[in-house]
Copies of this chain bind each other. A is one copy, B any other.
Amino acid sequence: VTDANVAPLWLAQAQATCQAQGWVSNSVILPAGETAKTTDCLHAILAKADEFNLTRNDALIALGGGVVGDTVGLAAALYYRGCGFVQVPSTLLAMVDSSVGGKVAINGARVKNSIGAFYHPHAVLMDTDLLATLPRREWLAGMAEVAKYALIEHAALGGQPALALPLADPVLPLWPWLLQHASALQQPPSSTNPLLTPERLKALLLTCCALKAAVVMRDPDETGGQLDATGRIALNLGHTFGHAYEQTLGYGTLLHGEAVALGLRLAVATSLHLGLLADEEATTVQAGLTALGLGLAWPSLQEAPAETLVVAMSRDKKVRQGKVRLVLPSSPLGNLVIKDNVPSELLVTLFEAQGA
């Protein structure tokens, strides 16, 4: 199962690979973009699986970005109460984030990802060649999640200071490594980008997946985050703000990673206002995000009024007992705290100031 963007680039080769293994394959092509995360697309996949006479012992393969992986993964979770599921991520975002961790979902009428399951892929096949056809906009959207890992690294490692991450040359934590190479990281891998050799790209992907896996293994079903910021809620840094933009502007206007980039800047701004980060730390992060190409233009307040955004936040899945639950950066960088009581008035002010 792939989408209309990826199908012309990679579907034939993927099916040829299956055929070379002696596997019979059929294909389903979803529309491109967030509109594929609807009940219609979910049930179209399930109906095709029925039509192809798939059993629970067959597999659905998601060839695409996070949207394809999320919808196909939910179909696989449901088909005969769980059939085979393989992720072949085609975007940086899907490689470092959505293909790992077992969260699959489509969007509800009002809340993003509100219809879903925990269903881990039986395999994730990452082929870095697929990144060569990735538009720069999609690459940068993935870099927003990479930047998030850098900003949660200490929390993700559960306070362990020195997991030997594979991103060597020299061995650095992720955030200073990103800052050091920020300019080169603004472009997708290509023959003219000497930084992103296949080996270094592999190391970057594995670093991000290792950080995500460390969190997910501590809290596979997202119950631990109710209590502290070492649970799965850590992965949500920037996402509650980001989801509010996605929902208010209409799913698909911003790429998910673009919304996360805006959300990271708002999370840092919130921490600064609450005294969780020092001025200098907040400034360093905002400048670093800009250097990484994540200094995106803010949606206008006409398109996304601050009050509407705050209402959207209050509908996020992380809401508990009517309070917006935010995970926020705290000093020193790489640490997180959970806040249940951020006043709506402050959130309105921050949306209006647009991270300034």
Contact = CB atoms under 8 A, between A and B. Distances in A.
Query: How many copies are assembled?
Result: 2
A79 interface: yes
Given A47-B109, A50-B108, A81-B116, 20 more contacts: A39-B39, A39-B43, A50-B111, A50-B114, A55-B317, A56-B317, A57-B321, A78-B115, A78-B117, A79-B114, A80-B114, A80-B116, A81-B105, A81-B117, A81-B118, A81-B221, A81-B222, A82-B117, A82-B221, A117-B117
Interface in A34-88: 39, 43, 46-47, 50-51, 53, 55-57, 77-82
How extensive is the interface on chain A, given as a class?
20 to 34
A217 interface: no
Given A43-B39, A55-B319, A221-B82, A77 B117 contact: yes
A212 interface: no
A109 B50 contact: yes
A202 interface: no
Interface of A: 39, 43, 46-47, 50-51, 53, 55-57, 77-82, 103, 105, 108-111, 114-118, 221-222, 315, 317, 319-321
A79 B321 CA distance: 17
Contact of A103 (B43, B81, B116, B221): B81
Nearest to A226: B57
Contacts of A221: 81-82
Contacts of A46: 108, 114-115
A110 B43 CA distance: 13
Nearest to A314: B53
A317 B79 CA distance: 10
